Structure 1
């Protein structure tokens, strides 16, 4: 099950009427597929082409610091476990692009390194990320840092074992 499907905020959003969603850092496409299955209009953006055909058809190949989308084109931007992989120098550019193209946001960002892989190059504590979002004008509704219990898609409790990150959602 994808992280999106287990998260309370994602569950609340997926049951709403059809929305236009952008998945930033679409990766292998699991979040894109989950939104499609719940009837939303979805686009993804990633530096690399996804391997799954369903995702390939709706994913743009490019950098999130210069997105080919109009202002407020999306109702919601979803960005999971991507910001820790980008150079700090373009962090503000990516966040401002997300704010520009969407009305609401949901981010999860790792706050620890990922030994032995060393792909987390933009590591900061939760307070740093919250301050960054606030300074850039995001309206944070919720920000947490801890593993928590959430409902899965069948309504049963699931524990998200991801204590080393920050969850942020709110208005752009």
Structure 2
């Protein structure tokens, strides 16, 4: 499984060194992110030991999507039922950088529609097939599934494995006293 760790620009080499020290293989640095090969047992190790990475994401799949139909078919082929339970909800967040598909809201709707159709077929849920957007977008605290992040032009689909960003969590002090 490919794990992706987003980071601030310029910190890619530091994050890559931290990952290499943890013994993970296939470490590749790009602009603003570092990829490595690992398993489910490596996700907690990365969450605890990374100092410069923002979060840990699992890559669900990658495919070329020059048009909306290719995007729909590619998302439909991903194994969403392996990560999202029958009653699960998940947000879809996307970016359009150097892509022919420039409308982020349209791409988000297509991704959600394809994922809902795949989940409806997998779970035998007629409601999901009829109302292709049966997966609701509610408050972040009530979401039971992982967030899905879509990043063109590589059209990689990643799923959050850390919850909130590592940088946003308190380290050592859960709160600070104000006098």
Give me the TM-score of the superposition, normalised by structure 1. 0.30
Higher relative contact order (CA 8 A, sep 6+): 2
Higher strand content, 1 or 2: 1
Please state which structure has a larger fraction of its residues in helix.
Answer: 2
